Amino acid sequence: MKIIEKMGRLDRRLVYLLLTVAVIIPLVMSLDVRTHVDRSTLGLFQAIERIEPNNKAVMISFDYSPDMSAELDPMGLAVLRHCFARNVRVIVMSMYIQGAALAERAVAQAASEFHKRPGVDYVMMGYRPGGAVIIMNIGENIRKAFPADYYGTPFDSLPMMKNIRNYQDIPVVLTLASSGVVGTWVIYAGTRYKANVASGVTAVMAPDYYPFLQTGQLLGQLSGMKGAAEYEQLLVDKGYYDKKGLASRSMNAISSAHILIIVLILIGNIAYFAVKDRKPKREGT
């Protein structure tokens, strides 16, 4: 019985150690496990599949800071690879000052893999302060929101932007977000300007946006690392990319961490009930 009691009072340092081991081992070992693809992930994937190559552009807004990059970077990279593999043009921007640097890193990596040229195949618009105002500005006239790109190239000198005026020329707007900015995109870009908004959010935020998915106000959503892993799975399945990325590898670590937490909760409950049954019952407690 003492062992059970002790199991209910594990030192927190032991819990930390177990979690570290549970995360590191699967990252070191390369396990190829298939991920179940959600309808919300499929919604975004299919929307990008429907875009005609070398015509209209997808807009990806990197609306997060580096603390969330572990979850959201793989999403951005997976969607950029999808677009570039299909020769779909991309407009990259950020509503977060630090997001611009993260966006630039992601787009530079994906562009080099697919030999895409800035200004022609993609445009890096960078950070713009203003939040909802910028979203509405894009709806009115994108040129006013972005008179020049991130590197100072004037809007009119960007060949890709020649026929892009507002959301009508942007079939998918994806916000990769770590805050309530998804709601801002839905309200202003989606409701006011009828843009097709999709989101990529951290796992803890994902439940907040299911109502928008059901109403169709979000055409798809990538939920945390799992959403990114699902997207990577779809890219490999469709032959757009030859190997799964970081998110798929990280899912193994997340899997073992989840299992460890479930086991710990079970141990805690077994110990709780074992001790509770032994204690004399008191009135009113």
Partner 1 sequence: MKRTIPLALVLILGIVFMIQYFIPSRASQQFFDQTLQWEIVIGIPAIAIAVDSLVRHHILKIRQRKKDWPYSLVYLGSALGMALVGIIGGIRQGSLFMKLFTYAMAPMQATVFALLAYYMASAAYRSFRARRAEATVLLLSAFVLMLGLIPLGASLWKGLPVIGEWLMLVPNMASKRAIMFGVGIGMAATNLKIMLGIERNWLGGGG
Give whichever of 30 and 214 is closer to partner 1, judged by the CB atom: 214
Among 42, 85, 136, 274, which residue interacts with partner 1 (rule: CB under 8 A)?
136
CA dihedral angle for residue 47, residue 138, residue 163, residue 52, rounded to 10 degrees: 0
Q: Is 274 in the site for partner 1 (CB under 8 A)?
A: no
Both tokens of residue 213? 């998915």
Q: Please identify, using beta-carbon distances, which residue of 6 and 39 lies nearer to partner 1.
A: 39
Q: Which of helix, strand or coil describes residue 127?
A: strand
The one among 81, 82, 89, 226 contacting partner 1 by CB under 8 A: 226
Instruction: For the sheet with 122-127, list strands across it.
Output: 122-127, 89-94, 57-63, 172-177, 197-201, 221-223
First to last CA, the chain: 23
Shortest approach of partner 1 to residue 91 CB, angstroms? 18
Q: At what angle do helices 224-237 and 246-278 cross, to 10 degrees?
A: 140
For residue 30, how many other CB atoms are within 10 A of its CB? Answer: 8
Q: Name the residue nearer to partner 1 (CB basis): 86 or 257.
A: 257
Read off the DSSP letter of residue 118.
B
The least distance separating partner 1 from the CB of residue 105, rounded to whole angstroms, comes to 7
Q: Which residues of 166-205 are buried (b: 16+ CB within 10 A; e: fewer)?
A: bbeebbbbbbbbbbebbbbbbebbbeebebbbbbbbbeeb
Q: Is 261 in the site for partner 1 (CB under 8 A)?
A: yes
- For partner 1, the binding residue among 5, 52, 156, 208 (CB under 8 A) is 208
Among the listed ranges 75-83, 88-96, 162-170, 205-213, the one in contact with partner 1 (CB under 8 A) is 205-213
Binding mask 102-121 toward partner 1 (x if CB under 8 A, else -) reads x-xx--x-------------
For residue 6 the two structure tokens come to: 């002790």
Told to check if 250 binds partner 1 by CB under 8 A, we report no
Among 47, 56, 65, 85, binds partner 1 (CB under 8 A): 65
Stretch 2-21 residues interacting with partner 1 (CB under 8 A): 10, 12, 15-16, 19
CA torsion through residues 58, 64, 66, 69, sign: negative
Parallel/antiparallel/unpaired status of strands 122-127 and 172-177: unpaired
How many chain residues are in contact with partner 1, going by CB under 8 A? 59
Which parts of this chain interact with partner 1 (CB under 8 A)? 10, 12, 15-16, 19, 23, 33-36, 38-39, 65-70, 98, 101-102, 104-105, 108, 128-130, 133-134, 136-137, 140-141, 144, 151, 203, 206-208, 210-211, 214, 226, 251-252, 254-255, 257-262, 264-265, 267-269, 272
